Amino acid sequence: MGERQQTQGDVSYGRMKEEEQRLKTEVKELLRRAQEIDEAEDKEYGADQRGEGLPEELRRREDRLKKIWEAKQQMEERQEEEDRAAGRYLQMTGTTRV
């Protein structure tokens, strides 16, 4: 079997995966910082007081991650259809042949 040539879609998918990982790391750090702030506010104002919800910075990143996940899903489904049409799809394992 020959090597599969890298396509522009592969590059975009790879960049999307990198961006996904970067955003996951940022979200994790923002959640850690939010937890610290929540704990400090609980000490100052009491644990029974409600906050304002997710900070805007975190909400934006989570929205971006959701869009990346949706785009990845669409790309994977499209690739699966192309592979199936080209006879490269293995039904039992769900993997593609190269």
Quickly list DSSP for 1-46: -PPPPP-HHHHHHHHHHHHHHHHHHHHHHHHHHHHHHHHHHHHHH-
Predicted confidence at residue 92, as pLDDT, reads 46
Q: What is the pTM for the complete model shown?
A: 0.46
| Cα distance between residue 62 and residue 26, in whole Å | 10
| Cα distance between residue 9 and residue 50, in whole Å | 45
Residue 88 above 80 pLDDT? no
The rounded mean pLDDT for the chain is 76
Domain boundaries, the chain: 9-96
Residue type, 4: R
pLDDT band, residue 54 (cuts 50/70/90): low
